[in-house]
Amino acid sequence: MSELSNKISSYFCLLNKEKRCVGYIGIWKIVNEAHITNLSIHPDYQNKKLAHKLLLKMLDECYKSKIKFITLEVRASNKKAIHLYEKFGFKSLGLRRKYYQDNNEDALIMWSENIFDKKYKDLYSGFKKELEN
């Protein structure tokens, strides 16, 4: 609940037909950077490109807020998430050792390029068109 009232955070939720949340993304907006704090899709709704939709919604918010760069941490073992973020132009630029308290797993630190650069805007536009079809 504290995150929802945090002045620098924005959260977006995907609802199913019954109006239940099946996925969400959270970001912190700090000056011209955003930090993805959470991205989660309910297991029954995975592999339906819903994470793509949430990432696009987050990018829309970043464009509106004039945010240029986006960062996140992801479990080093979460190959599906790493692949998704790489698909969205994120690159691993560091490691946080024993970052996750539940099992002391390392986290990759990933960053986007400047999302206002033409190359990134083209990537973004491609995903928008793909999801509209």
- Catalytic residues, which ones? 73, 85
Number of alpha carbons in the 13 Å side-chain half-sphere of residue 79: 0
Please name which of 7, 62, 72, 67 lies closest in space to residue 32, comparing C-alpha atoms.
67
- Name the strand (E) or helix (H) holding 11: strand 9-15
Contacts of 44 (CB under 8 A, 6+ apart): 22
Tell me the chain's radius of gyration from C-alpha atoms: 15
